[in-house]
Structure 1
């Protein structure tokens, strides 16, 4: 299971600008991290009230068997990734 594809499949129906979804994978010492960026007016939809939607997304992503030796971490960024 490709984690980035899973994140995209979960987030796409939640946002009004699916073309703005960016997922950048990078490795830290402890995690295989995925940075999710969406359009500024979609950030609230992805995070949800009191972070409930974001927590639900993380629960699903973290529950999937990962092909990586490290644990997966999902970061929801509220600004575009600096490398793009």
Structure 2
């Protein structure tokens, strides 16, 4: 299952890099990874923070929806924190 978690991390990283002006500043790391849950933490440059959150949180919600769909296939809970 580590391969899928890695692909989940890479997907979030790819999407975030596509959205921001400074893709080199994008960092995604696994905060928690156990049998029941995967928590990813997304960091971006301060000026790009609004771009990954979106209006009324729509972009962040879409990222979380993608993660939830991937996690459902594995039978695990997934979460994304934008810090």
The unaligned stretches of length 5 or more in structure 1 are 78-84
Moved over 2 A (4+): 28-31, 65-70
Residue of structure 1 equivalent to 2:18:
13
What is the deviation of 1:15? 0.2
Instruction: Give the match for residue 25 of structure 1.
Output: 30
- Give me the TM-score of the superposition, normalised by structure 1: 0.78
Once the two structures are TM-superposed, the CA of residue 67 in structure 1 deviates from its matched residue by 8.3
Structure 2: unaligned runs, 5 residues or longer: none
Q: Which has the higher contact order (CA 8 A, sep 6+)?
A: 1
CA distance in 1, matches of 2:82, 2:66: 15
Q: Matched residue pairs, number?
A: 77
More helix by percentage: 2
